[in-house]
Structure 1
Amino acid sequence: MFLQQRSYISTTSSQHVGIIGLGQMGGRMADNLRKKGHNLVVCDPVPDNVQKQVDQGGAVAASTPKEVAEQCDTIITMLPSTAIVENVYLGDNGVHEALRSEHLLLDSSTIDPIFTKKLSKELHDRGATFVDAPVSGGVAGAQNGTLTFMVGGEAEEFERVKPLLKAMGKNLVHCGGSCMYMRMDA
Structure 2
Amino acid sequence: MKEFGIVMLAAGASTRMGQSKQLLPVKGEPLLLRSVNAAILSGAQKIVVVLGANEKAHRDLIRDLKVEIVFNERWETGMGSSIKTGLRALLDLNPSLEGIVVLVCDQPLLTADHIRQLVTKHTETSKPIVASGYAATSGVPVFFHKVYFGKLMKLKDEQGAKKVIQQNSGDVTLQPFPQGEIDLDTPEDYERFKRSK
Question: TM-score w.r.t. structure 2 length?
Answer: 0.31
* Higher relative contact order, structure no. (Cα contacts within 8 Å, ≥ 6 residues apart): 2
